[in-house]
Amino acid sequence: MKLIALDLDGTLLNNKSLISNENIDAIRYAQNKGVEVIISTGRPHFDVFSICEKANISTHIIGNNGASIHFKDKKKLYSIGIDKKDVKGILYWLTDKNFYYEVSTNKAIYTPFNGKDMLKIEADKLISSNPKSINTKEIYKSYEKQFIQAGFIFVDNYKDILDRNDDFYNILAFSFDEEKRKAGMDYFKNLNKFSVFSSGNHNFEIVNKHTSKGASLERLASNLNISLDETMAFGDNYNDVSMFEKVKYSIAMGNADENIKSICKLVADTNYNNGVAKMIYEFIN
């Protein structure tokens, strides 16, 4: 094994959004054995570098679901964005439909200043309509997690974002209203202009139609002169499928959706039980 690709949320991170000491040690162990380690995530590269620095580890990074690739020394290998005119159309539609959104660029994550209030109103509505069947703690935790990433800039409206001279990598829309969320996904998929997928229970994401974690993993592996036959990838959600289709060993986390588990060659322990570390040691040893 010469390359290991790791999704972040729900995979490498535990339920406290931290990289456990066990996973940190396993990454270092793999690197000391000559294995290249990549974090491949929907998060922007600058947020991932911040997480890695806090954990005192260094890895290559595929950010924004494949829209950017950075080496562990922070040099950029590749990026592909969404045209500004398309960003304008997307944000106009999301605003009109009252979606919370995040726009990830090469510099920051832009989001409406009232975003947290928007999500709380939706969460309260969901809980009040299903008080006995809803896990209240999980619902509030799921939207509060959106705001712990590095690089947030709050804006009055989407036009403030378009005034920036940034490269637009990824747009995430979030809603607790399942019908509304599905309608949003279907609308953008039917345009046939973008790659649209879900990376969590309450979101969908929009990137350039030529963007995926898998395509960027293949590009980075080629740059590192590593055959895909010598690679493995860990993940827990639908934005990881493109990686699973490229690597020799696809590994779903124990906490992943059953559909994700069914398409992978192996299933690891859960993200909160150091599944990544256990599987790394098993393969390398």
The residues, any chain, with a CB within 8 Å of residue 46's CB and separated by 6 or more, are: 107, 150, 151
Which of the residues 7, 166, 236, 240 is marked catalytic?
A: 7
Task: Find the Cα–Cα–Cα–Cα dihedral 149, 81, 11, 39, rounded to 10°.
Answer: -90
What is the rounded distance in angstroms from the CA atom of residue 185 to the CA atom of residue 205?
8
**Known active-site residue 167:** no
Cα dist from 96 to 57, 131, 184, 208, whole Å:
42, 29, 11, 22
Element (H, E) at 277: helix 275-284
Say if residues 5 and 40 touch (Cβ distance below 8 Å): yes
Q: From CA 142, how far away is CA 127, in angstroms rounded?
A: 13
For the purposes of burial, counting CB atoms within 10 Å of the CB of 127, is it exposed (0-12), middle (13-18) or buried (19 or more)? middle
Contacts by residues 24-33 (CB-CB < 8 Å, ≥ 24 positions apart): 24/55, 24/56, 24/57, 25/277, 26/274, 26/276, 26/277, 26/280, 26/281, 27/57, 27/59, 27/280, 28/57, 29/280, 29/281, 29/284, 30/4, 30/280, 30/284, 33/284
Which residues are known catalytic residues?
Answer: 7
